[in-house]
Structures are given as structure tokens and as C-alpha cells.
Amino acid sequence: MADETETAGSPKPSAKKNATKAAKKRTKKANLAKKTGRVKTKGGPVPSFPRHSVKKALRIPRAILEQNAGRACTDREAVKFAGIAFHGPSRVEISSSIKYGLLSRPADGNVEVTELAKKILRPQGSGDELEGIRSAFLNAPTVSDVYKHYRGENIPDDQFFRNALVDTFKIPDDKVDEFKSVLLEDLSEAQLVEDVGDKRRILDIAREGETSPQSDETLRRISKGVKIEHGDSCFVMMPFAEPLGGYYKSIYEPAITKAGLRAVRADDEIFATGKVMDQIWSGIGAAKVLVAELTGRNPNVFYELGLAHALSKPVVLISSNQEDVPFDLQHIRVIYYDMRDPFWGEKLIAKVSENVVSALKNPGEALLRRVVNAV
């Protein structure tokens, strides 16, 4: 008769099975981390964003291309081609290259130069290098999210920008300066930033047909956790006279509808009877968020904007030029559009819809901050 007593200290079959499952799970997680560039170093997990700019992350791909014809090689061989030691910093550099899509992992522990890297390093046409750098930038996690969030806007003042990076994009406070450095280098290398007076504006380079899918994806991401109920309204403050008045039907109403709210404007079509100012006050008070077209500095628009700020309502500010935005409002996010851009209308619809939802999610970005001086 077989002895059914288990050997002392030996694991039970169920324990062995669980241990095997756990080991497989750890292996799968580790392999995924390597493929996406999220490797670990002695200092802990590498942040989700690349730690180098695109051009700096091209160093190892360039070396592989020049010394190994771009063929797959081990990580150790790759850094040797670049003339650097195989240690923590070089592994982080490989991670950055992977995040930009400049290197791929054909097998565990191996890297290979991608077609995107070749397009940048060995361009076949005059625009290939810049196009490739922009594509790499838009591949990278977090930096591309920040770009999409602020495209068409000025980069916020330092403290407000820092707050947004920590609160909205969940960048650890001790990594913010490093992140900003990488982001600004990337924007400059990709020619996606321009100086406007004393501000730096992030350019929107989307072309016809590209805006809608990108905006839909961004809108879905922003909308997570935002509660919008049937009938919730967005009050639009804008001049009625053409050409600006026509933007209500062609731009703002479609954008607000896309964001999931009902667009309301204080004109005869909306408010047929009663005291206009009472109804404007009521419309502003009932709105979850507001939109203000500041182009032309229309006094009625600024009066309504003052009422909205008095009620601490989040307002999405929009202008075709920076001169029409008063200095004391420039710390709030402002969408700037350029009518010389053939795709300006499509871009503006996408951007307004995103910022309306973003204002609901993070009202602080769209509120006039009050400064109270101690007496």
C-alpha cells in the first residue's frame, strides 16, 4: 500500500501550482517592461517618460547603424558600439530610445534599429528628418500627452505648469524639472514651439484628416472620471456680429456637443423674452462650464466673463491673438487659433471640445485665481 503521507517540508501540489503561476506572471511582467522600455535600475523603476530628448536618444541607434548595419544585437553590444559602459545610465538611454520608437526588441535582451530611426538618421528627402523626429516625439509616453494637452496654447507660467504636471499628469514632484527639460528639448528639436512676445506657444501641426482621430482619442482619455449629465450646459460668451458671430454654429456649438454638453448663447434665438441681463446671469449660473471668445475685446464678452469669474465658474478662453487677452488672464489656459492655417476650424473644434472637458475635470486650470493681500 502506497504511503499517502506527504514528506515533511515538501510543498503541497496546490502550493507548487500557485508558485508556478506567480513566477510566470512575474516573467510576463518583466518581459513587458523590457519591451516598453520600463526597466528597473538600482534607483527604482524608470519613469514612464523618456529620460533623454529624441536627438540624445539617437546616439545608440546611430552607433548600431554605423557599426552593425542596424542589425539586431545585444544591449551590451549596442552600448559598446556607442563607446559607453554597460551600466544603469546606458540602460536608461536604451529605454528612452525604445519609448521613442527608435529601437525595438526583436528578442529578450536584444535591440534593433527601427525604420523610424533610419528615416531620421539617413533621410531620403528634405523633410524626412523633421517628420521622423516629430513622429518619435509623438510616440513617447507622457511627453506626447502633455503636447496634445497644450497644443495651440502658451506654455503656462512655471508654478502653474508644475502643478499641472504633478496633478494632471502624475509626474512625481522630484522628477518635474527633469521632465520639463526633456519636453522643452523635444519641442525645440521637433520645431513645435515658437516665441510669442514673452510667452512660448506650442504649435498644433495636425493636418486635414488627422485631427479627428487624435482628438477623439484625447477626448476619451480626458473624459475618464468626468460626470456629464443630460442637459448640462456650456454657456458661450462671444460677439454676435460677423465674422465672429458665425463661429457659434460652425465651431463652438459642434465642439461643445462633441464634449457632451448643450451649447447656449445669449442672443435672440436663445432668449426670446424677458430681461436680457437676468437671463444672461441665469445662463451663466446654470452652466457647468463656459467658453469665451476674446478676439476683438468685445466689452459685453468681458462683462459676462467677469460675472462668470465672480461665480467661480471654469471658463475656456479662446482668441486669435495674444494682444486681445488681458495680462491678468494670461495665467489661465487660452486656446489660440490662426486663421491662416487652412485647417484652423477643424483644429479649433477639436481643441475646444477637449478643453471644455478638461475644465470640468481640472477646474483650477480654467478659473481666475484670486489673490488676497493681508491687511
Domain shared by 111 and 171, yes or no: no
The answer to the question of residue 213 being in a domain is no
- Which domain covers residue 179, as residue numbers? 129-202
Cα gap 353→335, rounded to integer Å: 11
Domains in the chain, number: 3
The answer to the question of residue 210 being in a domain is no
The answer to the question of residue 42 being in a domain is no
Q: Identity (one letter) of the amino acid at 208?
A: E
Domain boundary among 90, 123, 156: 123
pLDDT at residue 23, as a whole number? 55
Domain shared by 229 and 359, yes or no: yes
The answer to the question of residue 147 being in a domain is yes
Does residue 89 contact residue 83 with C-beta atoms inside 8 Å? Answer: no
Domain boundary among 169, 202, 235: 202
Domain shared by 225 and 362, yes or no: yes
Cα gap 147→259, rounded to integer Å: 20
Task: For the chain, report the end-to-end CA distance as a whole number of angstroms.
Answer: 94
Q: Domain holding 112: CATH number? A: 1.10.10.10
Backbone angles phi, psi at 236, to 5 degrees: -105, 120
Cα radius of gyration rounded to whole Å, the chain:
26
Backbone angles phi, psi at 335, to 5 degrees: -85, 125
Grid cell digits, residue 310: 465672480
Which residue shows C-alpha cell 509626474? 171
Grid cell digits, residue 326: 488681458
Neighbouring residues of 167: CB distance < 8 A, sequence distance ≥ 6: 362, 364
Backbone angles phi, psi at 132, to 5 degrees: -65, -40
Which residues of the chain fall below pLDDT 50? Answer: 1-10, 30, 33-44, 268-269, 271, 371-375
Cα gap 316→292, rounded to integer Å: 6
pLDDT at residue 16, as a whole number? 53
Q: pLDDT digit string (tens) for 49-100?
A: 999 999 999 999 999 999 999 999 999 999 999 999 999 999 999 999 999 9
Grid cell digits, residue 15: 502550493
Grid cell digits, residue 362: 481640472
Q: Identity (one letter) of the amino acid at 122?
A: R
The answer to the question of residue 10 being in a domain is no
Distances (CA, A) of 39 to 29, 145, 335: 10, 21, 37
Which residue shows C-alpha cell 508644475? 162
Domain boundary among 202, 236, 254: 202
Domain shared by 247 and 119, yes or no: no
Domain shared by 229 and 339, yes or no: yes
Does residue 138 contact residue 204 with C-beta atoms inside 8 Å? Answer: no
Other residues' Cβ atoms within 10 Å of the Cβ of residue 282: 15
Domain shared by 187 and 100, yes or no: no
pLDDT at residue 19, as a whole number? 56
Backbone angles phi, psi at 291, to 5 degrees: -125, 135
Domain shared by 305 and 232, yes or no: yes
Does residue 98 contact residue 61 with C-beta atoms inside 8 Å? Answer: no
Grid cell digits, residue 340: 491662416
The answer to the question of residue 214 being in a domain is no
pLDDT at residue 278, as a whole number? 80
Cα gap 201→286, rounded to integer Å: 33
Cα gap 315→305, rounded to integer Å: 8
Domain shared by 233 and 297, yes or no: yes
Instruction: Report which secondary-structure segment, H or E, holds 315.
Output: strand 315-319
Q: Bridge-partner residues for 237, per DSSP?
A: 292
Cα gap 266→275, rounded to integer Å: 11
pTM (predicted TM-score): 0.77
What angle in degrees, to the nearest 10, is found between the helix axes of 88-100 and 128-139? 110
Based on the number of CB atoms within 10 Å of its own CB, is 228 exposed (0-12), middle (13-18) or buried (19 or more)?
A: middle
